[in-house]
Structure 1
């Protein structure tokens, strides 16, 4: 119990997904958390399409879909009237198997991950605190304190800090966490209610003074309300009750609250760690980046961190890659985190800004422009790709090479379902693989065969061309299903060079 390959600190969704992915790949992990039990309140809600795609590798997607609630559309309200409706399926039907926003509360999400982790014989070690750690070329030596007060050493090859915005791991590493805190105070309430905004869709009210979003939960009349607290009430948010918050936006959305099941207030932070790794220690999730909840990106981004790191750690631990592969974790994920914080900052500032001009922009200009913007196919797709995270890419980074058609190295592989064959069906395997749409050379098939790299060949069709793929091109996919190399008419020598230059075996 005192030795493992990866010690994971923090058992939120990020830490649990990392533990699960590593366990599936045969890596010995320990996962500790200072809390006595998992959370019981539904904090993060949204599971985005890209997360659902990646969850297929863990056979999690079906369970998440069965237990959550699909949100088919978003609605914009202004001054008590519905101003615009954006149906997700009309935008993303040709882009992903999951063209919707999926609501799956974090407490239920964590329980599912914990149960699946137990299937690998791994239990979260509760009431276990990281006191400190030392690291050198040989590994990490961590000092732990258990619930009974006894201290123990844990030896590990690597340490993953998934321990939230107040991360002990980050502080021990001395890594800065620059950014700030917005002055606005928000409230969140899980309620039983009725009214037109309780129809299973997402509803947002843009008011001159207040902001309110209504997120549907599974079950009739259940919803999550997220709104702003303004005026002098925001000075002491810890003393507020639901009855104290402004009813203006609630009345605008015609929400009739019957029962409040949970209520809390919070401030929003925006910070990105100066480094995501140092020697053998890594920062993931809120330990590395926190930002506005606009767009439901936070939990999904942490899960993306975990998936990115898991296959790289495994490759190095199993001698299938040089240590330098681990440097690409920070390169890829920190770039995305900084873009995300900047984007959510802009959205957040728009919906919460005070003043007459800001109010006019929200209540008069936005309702007129929004329907016109979403009427454009390119604009709808951009919005969906951004929020669903299917637009995340690692272009122009060390593991990304070439282009073929509209697909570049570092891109998410376009999803195509043609003649009953889904090209994502092979991506359930966590390994390097090649996809070719058309004809493939015998030398490439032979080279891949000697290294155990599967080659999937699809009959060329108009659907593939429409998705941006190139006929007969070779697409090398990483174990996390992102495109590593895209090359027209590539032979074995191209793949040989790719792996050799990066110190990878491909096995």
Structure 2
């Protein structure tokens, strides 16, 4: 198995494969790890995944905890805020961490599991065959070799060789204008427990706290003069003047570290998979950075393909399991893009309000709560997937959440890499023993969990922490339905 790209999604996929005893060859064209800030937000829903992978503690310790999203005016006066305090999650905050540090934590975890990244190796082409994928590699010294892989995971970023080999394009649109991004040292009175969108008549400035008293900033709506300066100066030389032009409050840029300019996109491929090739992260979708969902959806992509490929490689899965990756993640990524567009729209509306003085109607409490959960990736659902289902016995019309495909609220506390069967109340003893024997090693049976189901029920939680199946009651018929469901994509 080959993973192309040692960014967050490639490294995380390799970690999750290694945790399941499957080694992958990880290829990265850059000869050394980068030290760029890039994507910085790690959402609560992603922390839950990292907790099961053994990395959440280090991420939380290394990062700044962002507990609120605020909008302020040019004088830094509060306009509005969206707190994360009421999330149904153990960690009601985002972790703000430079991308290079996130990658370092992932790489260290991979090394603990025996994995290694091959650097200075570029993939120049690939061709899929019946039993594998033929890949041409180019080493740093210019030599070329051919290797064959059973499966290939493309995590090489927006300029993806894998995507080109699949004849896929990123469909969607590019937002108007150029945006500056930088890691800065700044003196200001803004709270360091929040992301701060400064909405001004001259455009926006986003200031997000980083470790070591640094800030990540995005500066948007560059005018013609600022864009012209970019053509003749480095982005770092433009950052401070652009911020001073927009913010009249007390903010002084003391230094500019990493800086770049870019265009924001809203794009996704029609297909995330073809045969033995799979696309993760920016190779398959791009979104506005306002909500901080891009890095996170990439990590969710990585976990989804990793647990499915691990079972397939070990001979424990039917084709339906790997085929479900593209179905599940494309729907989830579309949802993330929708959320990203809403957050981006709110930011642009705040700038327009600063220009016109006309503020949009405020969202209702229910709308704000739903958007907060969505941007924190706590509402990702695979409902409708071919590998989720339920069996409701006579007299059972409805069950409380979570339903099939939805996130199990306590998933961060579940141990191991297998499916977890959570049994509550009285269950059919013979049926449960039969399930335990047949699916041992693939399904761990846990009794008396207090799972929010019927007085008698069985809830199957997949290795990614989403509900795969629920049966109520857990009688002979319900457990037989569960057994048939497992047999649809697993091999006992």
TM-score by length of 2: 0.90
Task: Quote the offset at 1:355 in angstroms.
Answer: 9.4
Over 3 Å counting, the alpha-carbon distance change for 1:473 and 1:41 in structure 2 is same
Structure 2 counterpart of 1:418:
none
Match among 233, 239, 245 for residue 242 of structure 2: 245
Is 1:231 the counterpart of 2:231 in the alignment? no
Whole-Å separation in 1 of the counterparts to 2:351 and 2:203: 12
Give per-residue Cα distances to partners, 1:84-128, cap 9 Å, x unaligned.
Answer: 333322x11xx1111111112110011111111122322211110
Equivalent position SS for 2:34: coil
Is 1:401 the counterpart of 2:395 in the alignment? no
Match among 86, 92, 96 for residue 82 of structure 2: 86
Task: Quote the offset at 1:77 in angstroms.
Answer: 1.0
Match among 464, 477, 481 for residue 494 of structure 1: 481
Whole-Å separation in 2 of the counterparts to 1:456 and 1:251: 59
Task: Quote the offset at 1:190 in angstroms.
Answer: 1.4
Equivalent position SS for 1:31: strand
Q: Indicate the larger mover: 237-246 or 313-322.
A: 237-246
Task: Quote the offset at 1:228 in angstroms.
Answer: 0.7
Instruction: Write out aligned runs for 1:10-21 (5 A).
Output: 10-21=5-16
Give per-residue Cα distances to partners, 1:315-338, cap 9 Å, x unaligned.
Answer: 111111112321111101111222
Over 3 Å counting, the alpha-carbon distance change for 1:11 and 1:338 in structure 2 is same
Whole-Å separation in 1 of the counterparts to 2:171 and 2:192: 41
Match among 135, 158, 173 for residue 180 of structure 1: 173
Contact 2:471 2:479 (C-alpha < 8 Å) held by counterparts: no
Structure 2 counterpart of 1:443:
430
Instruction: Write out aligned runs for 1:35-434 (5 A).
Output: 35-80=30-75, 81-89=77-85, 91-92=86-87, 95-220=88-213, 222-232=214-224, 233-235=226-228, 237-238=230-231, 239=233, 240=235, 241=237, 242-252=239-249, 254-352=250-348, 359-360=355-356, 364-366=358-360, 369=362, 373=364, 376=365, 378-402=366-390, 404-415=399-410, 424-425=412-413, 427-434=414-421
Equivalent position SS for 2:119: coil
Q: CA RMSD in A?
A: 2.2
Over 3 Å counting, the alpha-carbon distance change for 1:347 and 1:62 in structure 2 is closer
Over 3 Å counting, the alpha-carbon distance change for 1:357 and 1:256 in structure 2 is closer
Is 1:483 the counterpart of 2:479 in the alignment? no
Whole-Å separation in 2 of the counterparts to 1:183 and 1:266: 11
Equivalent position SS for 1:404: coil
Over 3 Å counting, the alpha-carbon distance change for 1:470 and 1:187 in structure 2 is farther
Equivalent position SS for 1:247: helix
Over 3 Å counting, the alpha-carbon distance change for 1:256 and 1:168 in structure 2 is same
Contact 1:134 1:141 (C-alpha < 8 Å) held by counterparts: yes
Whole-Å separation in 1 of the counterparts to 2:42 and 2:350: 30
Give per-residue Cα distances to partners, 1:236-286, cap 9 Å, x unaligned.
Answer: 63534224415243334x322222223221111221112111111111110
Whole-Å separation in 2 of the counterparts to 1:173 and 1:85: 43
Over 3 Å counting, the alpha-carbon distance change for 1:260 and 1:328 in structure 2 is same
Equivalent position SS for 1:113: helix
- Structure 1: state its 5+ residue gaps: 1-5, 416-422
Over 3 Å counting, the alpha-carbon distance change for 1:131 and 1:489 in structure 2 is same
Task: Quote the offset at 1:234 in angstroms.
Answer: 2.7
Q: Indicate the larger mover: 479-488 or 447-456.
A: 447-456
Contact 2:422 2:449 (C-alpha < 8 Å) held by counterparts: no
Task: Quote the offset at 1:137 in angstroms.
Answer: 2.2
Whole-Å separation in 2 of the counterparts to 1:386 and 1:499: 29
Task: Quote the offset at 1:340 in angstroms.
Answer: 2.4
- Structure 2: state its 5+ residue gaps: 391-397
Equivalent position SS for 2:362: helix
Give per-residue Cα distances to partners, 1:200-251, cap 9 Å, x unaligned.
Answer: 322112223311111011233x211112142202356353422441524333
Over 3 Å counting, the alpha-carbon distance change for 1:345 and 1:74 in structure 2 is closer
Contact 1:438 1:459 (C-alpha < 8 Å) held by counterparts: no
Structure 1 counterpart of 2:393:
none
Task: Quote the offset at 1:497 in angstroms.
Answer: 1.4
Whole-Å separation in 1 of the counterparts to 2:30 and 2:270: 27
Aligned pair count reads 473
Whole-Å separation in 1 of the counterparts to 2:131 and 2:151: 10
Contact 1:229 1:246 (C-alpha < 8 Å) held by counterparts: no
Contact 1:128 1:146 (C-alpha < 8 Å) held by counterparts: yes
Give per-residue Cα distances to partners, 1:272-311, cap 9 Å, x unaligned.
Answer: 1121111111111100001111210000000000000011
Structure 2 counterpart of 1:3:
none
